[in-house]
A and B are shown apart, each in its own frame.
Chain A
Amino acid sequence: AQSVTQLDSHVSVSEGTPVLLRCNYSSSYSPSLFWYVQHPNKGLQLLLKYTSAATLVKGINGFEAEFKKSETSFHLTKPSAHMSDAAEYFCVVRVGTSGTYKYIFGTGTRLKVLA
């Protein structure tokens, strides 16, 4: 079965330093992968997606992720953290066949940004 594993439940970084949120996937074929962000008491916002095109994917707010098949990883990065990046981040894999698709979420990584 397809799944994603987020390796860190909490990550703390200082403002202005790089962010790395790790995600590994399990899939028998080339997956569609996503990162969503959830700010406190807010809904889920799409950051970026990988759907078998370029392996380096750029998203909103300066985030990017690289699909590495050899490592079955899809880590999320940002060169310089901002206070507003503090939120919960979910790595997601899409599963299904034509007719219906559903999203399988990772357990989430809570990012804390220190002043």
Chain B
Amino acid sequence: EPEVTQTPSHQVTQMGQEVILRCVPISNHLYFYWYRQILGQKVEFLVSFYNNEISEKSEIFDDQFSVERPDGSNFTLKIRSTKLEDSAMYFCACPKREVTDTQYFGPGTRLTVL
């Protein structure tokens, strides 16, 4: 199975602080997605990103969230001012090659906001 990696595996932060979650997708891929899973709830779509632009975002993805591709390989999800309700598992995913391919998920980053 293709490998998608994420760092850190666990992030603890104080409410109001900024956090940056990182994802290294399947090599040289242009598409990637972020999903969120609040503890005990289902996985929810946050945003899709293609070729340095957001292609779709959910209602959850408000102005506090942003995505970037800072260096051509890594993708980041930034939360500017974290809230308690941002505590969740964040997964990035990308298809193997084409946008129609199956999405492979990273291991996730568990974000805890205190």
Q: Which residues in A have some Cβ–Cβ distance to B below 8 Å?
A: 34, 36, 42-46, 49, 90, 96, 98-108
Q: Which residues in B have some Cβ–Cβ distance to A below 8 Å?
A: 1, 31, 33, 35, 41-45, 48, 50, 55-56, 91, 93, 95, 99-100, 102-108
Which of the residues B1, B41, B55 comes within 8 Å of A46, measured between beta carbons?
Answer: B1
Q: List 16 A-B contacts (CB under 8 A).
A: A34-B102, A42-B107, A43-B91, A43-B105, A44-B43, A45-B1, A49-B102, A90-B43, A99-B99, A100-B31, A100-B50, A101-B95, A103-B33, A103-B43, A105-B42, A107-B42
State the total of A-B contacts with C-beta under 8 angstroms.
55
> B45 near A102 (CB under 8 angstroms)?
yes
Residue on B nearest A92 in the bound complex, by CB: B43
Chain B residues with Cβ below 8 Å from A102 are: 33, 45, 48, 56
